[in-house]
Structure 1
Amino acid sequence: MTHAPHLLDLPHHDGSAVHVPPGTPALGDAVPVRVRVPRAAGVERVWVRSVRDGEPRLAEAVPDGGTDAEQWFTGEVVVHNPVTPYRFLLDGPGGYRWLDGRGVHDRDVSDDGDFRLTTHAPAPSWLGDGLVYQIFPDRFARSGAADGRPTPDWAVPAAWDDEPAGTGVLAGTQYYGGDLDGVVEHLDHLAALGVGTVYLTPVFPGRSNHRYDASTFAAVDPLLGGDDAYARLSEAVHARGMRLMGDITTNHTGEGHEWFAAALADPGSPEHGMYVWADPASDNTDVATTASGEGYASWLGFGSLPKLDWAAPETWHRMVTGPDAPIGRYLRPPFALDGWRVDVANMTGRWGSEDRTHAVSRELRAAVERERPDGALIAEHFHDAGADLRAGGWHANMNYTGFTRPAWSWLATEGSPAAAHGLPVAGTRRPGGAMVDAMREFDAAVPWSVTAAQWNMLGSHDTPRLRTAVGSDELAEVAATLLFTYPGTPVVFAGDEVGATGDNGEHARTTMAWDEGARGGGPRWDAGTLERYRRLSAVRRGSDALRDGGLRWAVVADDAVVFLRESPSERVLVVLARAPWAGAVLPGHLLDPGTQPERLYGEVGLDVRPDGLTISGDGPAVGVFRLL
């Protein structure tokens, strides 16, 4: 069988420290950018093309060392604009080519895929120190105090082992009674998993189990234990060296929110100006109607979620700038949150001809950093977030389009509704090249400092479960290995680490089977999957290259992909195969003479031979190796 070809004869650049000096440049800085050019590529001269005030500039790069196998060139990019695009012009036999964030092209290309330097500071470094663990409070754990709380009038009680409803009214009203002290009681589980950041979906009271329909931001839901329980959780999380992030809706409140109640009661009130009012006769399906016939904008037509108007000074005062505004208040003791994940960030401040989203994101970041200079601000944005992430507000995004959907498209079962989440079609199982093209396209839309901080997920409280999407334990392992080895921050939704299943976002909000865990496993607690996540988490924590290194695609085949993660001190090779494939031979110069690869994880074969590093065609299978 002929081996799959490798891509390591192509020139390469990314924004990591191997190619760009670490740190955030200031306006006016001249930043040296290095490009690796394999001698087999036949490149004779290199120029850096940057864009300054909308006009391209070319500056020739100079040779800067190399080996028998490859040569380096270094050029300079003047950071004249807050986000400065650049790419490389390569000249040699056969004519010129371009190298940008999407790869090497023997044609002219648009600026959309350019590399980017930015003066906007990156996410705080602690965000990538360990995995982010997402908790849906109602479904994680019940403390003893939960038994004494009355069931709210909106709720339908459920036993802890009941299957979550996936559709209908019950999906939002099924109530299991998990609380914050229950989270405290299970922090040992998180510590053993290598969690660095605990992220809870909203803790404010509402009239649903998800609590994205807040009735106030002034207090924590008593059903979760109230303010005191949130403070206890914060203290316990921080005592273990972990961070704690909250979740807040800036696009809307609940219709039961005290502000909306005041707005309905008095059209002349300050609160009335905080909401977007619209013609009730409009054909816009996002317009809902009050009992008195007044029209208002709502989230996707759900009248229970009225939209905030960020043109109103009172909205800014109540949400951000006022002394009791929630954005700052919960970052201060006793809650001491380390940052926020912002729900529906992409719609916040947008309505018709009005677009204040970038202004809102920048002011939210400023407010966070006033309280916590190292605070984090993460957006929820389900589609193309590139323009929003370049604006200097959000540090990173929940990376559905740049990671989750591409990974599912490669690994999910053909025809699975789960694989086409959010689309009115069946899922399509695509080849590895389609996954890589999608990842490169979305990664190229943002500066490397953002790519390196993106929240990569294999699922969340809004999606089907990974195990349901891919259909097998073997492919779930391939997916988990990709999660822990790809640039960015791995995010795990509570339950994925023990093999949870779920057909859609609501059905996926299953409870944690702590009783089975205490017995060593069971139908809802796969001990083997848990051990896998613990091992992969430890591998990532122990590797500079996996935490902070660049990304170089080495092999892209239909059923397998291979990539390198490289930092100044380390090179790691990652092999992922969804099925048996042809295998590949990589150049021997990737490994120092006389040394052997160190297997960090997985069973894929890797042999050192005179013709190079030979990767076996096993599959489904994974392998993670330290080469340098």
Structure 2
Amino acid sequence: MLKFDSRDTRYKKPFGAVAAGTTVYFKFPVSADIGATEVALIYRGAEEGKLTLKRLGDVDGYTVFTGAAVFNTPGVCYYRFEIHSVRGTLYAGRVGDDGKATVGEWLKEWQLTVYDPSFKTADWLKGKIIYHIFPDRFCRVEDGRRPAYGKFKSWGKELTIFDPDGIYRADDFYGGNIKGVLTRLPYLKSLGVGAIYFSPVFDSHSNHRYDTGDYMKIDPLFGSEEEFKMLISECEKQGIGIILDGVFNHTGADSIYFNKFGRYPGIGAYQSKSSPYYPWYTFTKYPDEYACWWGVTVVPTVRRDCEEFQNYIAGPGGVIEKWTELGVKGWRLDVADELSTAFLEKIRAKVKSLGDVALIGEVWEDASTKVSYGEKRSYLFGRQLDGTMNYPFRTAILSLFKDRNAENFVDSVMTIAENYPHDALYQSMSLLGTHDTVRIITALGGNHNMRTKAERLHFRMPLAEYKSAARAVKTASAIQYFLPGLPTIYYGDEIGMQGYEDPINRRPYAYGYEDPELLAHYRYLGKIHAEFPQEFSIGCGRNYISITRGKYTLHVYLENMSYTITNS
């Protein structure tokens, strides 16, 4: 009955999101037997309006209507079509997540994302492969340094998942350091890596360092500021940029700012209401009851509207300025949903004032439509993030292995491709694992239904199961690399490291236990990815999916989840 498809530029042009002020052309063919006399485009959201399309005439049994609209306000618009015909008034929308039109009541509308025409992403990061390092667990060169608190372990010793009292304190350290990273730069280059994303490197009293003790200092177990400068310099020589983790929603309770345990000089917010840091936090019953992230008392949250803190982070001489001027080329914002719109815009303004610097946010869902704390977020409209971590692609890949539904997979990918500004899509991570997820090889292995964390800690796949899971990782990573965005390797995934949820997914890098076939596969993907143009195309049949990047096409066969890569 209808031929319109928002993902086909014969019917809507240009494809996907548009810069404000862009003319968007619509072509809407209606089956002649409907007897359409008029078609109108109705839109709402960032802008509201109604556009009557022009009737062109009848072509091949369809009455064709066309029109053009200009959207001037950054944000999300939703649209549908109203058809006046001899049958009465009909409405056209879509069913599911594809772009095709159908007639019916209460159907889903199409989405059109409109972004600020000045939106620009970091040039240096385009087309790069990112390697995600969890600093304490990647590589250690012995230098005699030991943590001031907690347990220091030999590299091969098993993780601590809870202390004898049943509490996990994240205070077992393996001593991964800057010197170790420096020795591994040739290895990273062999993978085609062009950027390193470090989980937090600032002073802290935990192994994950998301409880920042001092934003202005490198954690002494990881290295010194001079060593960090050396790392930046050596990375630049190798064509590798460094992205730091900006944890700006909360600090550590054990910090120069809160100073709950009195380990830092000066007076923290916990110690006195006269502390310069007291206005940063929200106390409900001073000093022991205070707002904290997800109720975790070691990470008190900072007030969303605290200008003093925002200036400390993004103001003159602040955290972002210090480390970016030192040579850092990008920032990943932890829990971006927790940061206010004003703060995000202030961070972007600072970052972009310092040069060609990237800004990526931790957002787990479709960032164009994300709602947090009742607020519609504006991450990708040109004034906040360059891109996101793009977990929806990971979800789509895992779902493909589970249900083997090619159309669902393509629709999931194309929804993000259609909703994100082009440059934001290509400056978003394409990932299979992070420090917050089950290791990809474990996720693609068998379901062993282990009830306790201790069981999950000690589990290793039998050899036959491991080989099957490794084959699945090869297919999943091939898809990952062919999708638009920045392929991101979580350290150790490329060698087959196993592990369930945090902290089991944060073991020390398994030196001496690498899977050579899997590693060779990742090196091959890195090599061909360097030849990919930005654009991609994707298609599917009942039992296959194909993704093309330039002269390379990936074919995935759903019957056994195998793949081939052809070079035209």
The bucket for the TM-score relative to the shorter chain is: 0.7 to 0.9
**1:175 pairs with one of 160, 173, 176:** 173
User: What residue is the counterpart of 1:4 in the other structure?
Assistant: none
For 2:303, give the aligned amino acid. D
* Structure 2 Cα separation of the partners of residues 34 and 190 of structure 1: 46
* Partners of 2:78 and 2:109 within 8 A in 1: no
User: What residue is the counterpart of 1:533 in the other structure?
Assistant: 522
> 2:554 matched to 1:554?
no
For 2:329, give the aligned amino acid. D
How far is the alpha carbon of 1:211 from its aligned partner? 0.7
* Structure 1 Cα separation of the partners of residues 229 and 86 of structure 2: 66
Evaluate the alpha carbon distance shift between residue 540 and residue 161 of structure 1 in structure 2; reply closer, same or farther with a 3 A threshold.
same
* Partners of 2:94 and 2:107 within 8 A in 1: no
User: What residue is the counterpart of 1:607 in the other structure?
Assistant: none
**1:207 pairs with one of 184, 205, 209:** 205
> 2:314 matched to 1:320?
yes
1:52-73 Cα distance to aligned partner (Å, 9 max, x none):
853133364899xxxx9xxx99
* Structure 2 Cα separation of the partners of residues 440 and 54 of structure 1: 24
User: What residue is the counterpart of 2:264 in the other structure?
Assistant: none
User: What residue is the counterpart of 1:574 in the other structure?
Assistant: 554
User: What residue is the counterpart of 2:440 in the other structure?
Assistant: 466
Cα RMSD over matched residues?
Answer: 3.8
* Partners of 2:16 and 2:421 within 8 A in 1: no
For 1:380, give the aligned amino acid. E
* Partners of 1:332 and 1:371 within 8 A in 2: yes
Evaluate the alpha carbon distance shift between residue 495 and residue 108 of structure 1 in structure 2; reply closer, same or farther with a 3 A threshold.
farther
> 2:397 matched to 1:407?
yes
* Partners of 1:48 and 1:77 within 8 A in 2: no
Evaluate the alpha carbon distance shift between residue 30 and residue 205 of structure 1 in structure 2; reply closer, same or farther with a 3 A threshold.
closer
> 2:475 matched to 1:489?
no
* Structure 2 Cα separation of the partners of residues 491 and 235 of structure 1: 22
For 1:536, give the aligned amino acid. L
How far is the alpha carbon of 1:231 from its aligned partner? 0.7
Matches within 5 A, 1:82-481: 82-83=74-75, 85=77, 97-98=92-93, 102-106=98-102, 107=104, 113-119=110-116, 121-143=119-141, 146-149=142-145, 151-166=146-161, 169=167, 172-261=170-259, 262-278=268-284, 280=285, 293-323=287-317, 325-333=318-326, 336-348=327-339, 357-372=340-355, 374-383=356-365, 385=367, 386-387=369-370, 388=377, 389-391=379-381, 392-400=383-391, 402-411=392-401, 431-441=405-415, 445-471=419-445, 472-481=469-478
How far is the alpha carbon of 1:77 from its aligned partner? 3.7
For 1:364, give the aligned amino acid. I
SS of residue paired to 2:525? helix
1:583-608 Cα distance to aligned partner (Å, 9 max, x none):
xxxxxxxxxxxxxxxxxxxxxxxxxx
How far is the alpha carbon of 1:561 from its aligned partner? 4.5
Evaluate the alpha carbon distance shift between residue 438 and residue 276 of structure 1 in structure 2; reply closer, same or farther with a 3 A threshold.
farther
* Structure 2 Cα separation of the partners of residues 93 and 496 of structure 1: 61
User: Identity percentage over the alignment?
Assistant: 25
* Partners of 1:21 and 1:32 within 8 A in 2: no
* Structure 1 Cα separation of the partners of residues 250 and 443 of structure 2: 31
For 1:267, give the aligned amino acid. K
SS of residue paired to 1:126? helix
1:23-58 Cα distance to aligned partner (Å, 9 max, x none):
973x4x233558899x9xx9x999866558531333
* Structure 2 Cα separation of the partners of residues 218 and 484 of structure 1: 35
1:544-589 Cα distance to aligned partner (Å, 9 max, x none):
1xx333x44433x4xx4524447xxx576433234x2xxxxxxxxx
* Partners of 1:50 and 1:85 within 8 A in 2: yes
Evaluate the alpha carbon distance shift between residue 311 and residue 178 of structure 1 in structure 2; reply closer, same or farther with a 3 A threshold.
same
* Structure 1 Cα separation of the partners of residues 304 and 4 of structure 2: 48
Evaluate the alpha carbon distance shift between residue 625 and residue 126 of structure 1 in structure 2; reply closer, same or farther with a 3 A threshold.
farther
User: What residue is the counterpart of 2:451 in the other structure?
Assistant: none
Structure 2 gaps of 5+ residues are 260-267, 371-376, 446-468
Evaluate the alpha carbon distance shift between residue 59 and residue 172 of structure 1 in structure 2; reply closer, same or farther with a 3 A threshold.
farther
* Partners of 2:76 and 2:113 within 8 A in 1: yes
* Partners of 2:251 and 2:302 within 8 A in 1: yes
SS of residue paired to 2:477? helix
1:69-91 Cα distance to aligned partner (Å, 9 max, x none):
xxx99864413102353667598
* Structure 2 Cα separation of the partners of residues 12 and 113 of structure 1: 8
Give the stretch that moved more between structures: 110-119 or 184-193. Answer: 110-119
For 1:407, give the aligned amino acid. I
How far is the alpha carbon of 1:202 from its aligned partner? 0.8
SS of residue paired to 1:147? coil
For 2:75, give the aligned amino acid. V
User: What residue is the counterpart of 1:418 in the other structure?
Assistant: none
* Partners of 1:249 and 1:342 within 8 A in 2: yes
Evaluate the alpha carbon distance shift between residue 122 and residue 112 of structure 1 in structure 2; reply closer, same or farther with a 3 A threshold.
farther
SS of residue paired to 2:522? helix
For 1:81, give the aligned amino acid. T
User: What residue is the counterpart of 1:542 in the other structure?
Assistant: 531
How far is the alpha carbon of 1:182 from its aligned partner? 1.1
* Structure 2 Cα separation of the partners of residues 76 and 233 of structure 1: 52
User: What residue is the counterpart of 1:590 in the other structure?
Assistant: none
* Partners of 2:199 and 2:208 within 8 A in 1: yes
- How many aligned residue pairs are there? 510
How far is the alpha carbon of 1:277 from its aligned partner? 2.2
> 2:79 matched to 1:79?
no
SS of residue paired to 1:266? coil
* Partners of 1:164 and 1:508 within 8 A in 2: no
Evaluate the alpha carbon distance shift between residue 134 and residue 116 of structure 1 in structure 2; reply closer, same or farther with a 3 A threshold.
same
Evaluate the alpha carbon distance shift between residue 84 and residue 572 of structure 1 in structure 2; reply closer, same or farther with a 3 A threshold.
farther
